[in-house]
Amino acid sequence: MVRKKTSENSAFFFRVYELTKLIPYGRITSYGAIAHYLGSGRSARMVGWALNNCHSRPEFIPAHRVVNRNGLLSGKHHFGNSTTMKQLLENEGIIVDDDQVVDFPEKFWDPLKELK
């Protein structure tokens, strides 16, 4: 068993960024789905942490397409204005009502299922 190094664990963040950018237009996914895809089912918090650092990224990360398992825009507050995330989602055809994604399971994009 080779113990993973800290630098390799940092790749987790990179994975999150890559996967987030792979989310198709008009689709959304959950933190848990991303975490599970990366191999750590219950490390969803890391996903949020990584996306928190997405602001440090030179490129645009469609983090607005990532919501919690309830389809709730838990990270809306991190887009400057609380309405920014909602606007971005609605701009992609995703209906957001009361900070909650309508037809969440329908718009849900599972990396495990789509990317295999």
Handedness of CA 106, 115, 61, 34 (dihedral sign): positive
Whole-number Å distance between alpha carbons of 54 and 43: 17
Q: How far is the CB of 19 from DNA (least distance, A)?
A: 14
For DNA (CB under 7 A), the number of binding residues is 36
Interface positions, 3-62, toward DNA (CB under 7 A): 4, 6, 9-10, 12-13, 30-32, 35, 40, 42-49, 51-52, 54-55, 61
Q: Are 39 and 115 in contact (CB under 8 A)?
A: no
Whole-number Å distance between alpha carbons of 4 and 29: 27
* Residues binding DNA (CB under 7 A): 4, 6, 9-10, 12-13, 30-32, 35, 40, 42-49, 51-52, 54-55, 61, 63-64, 66, 68-70, 74-75, 77-79, 85
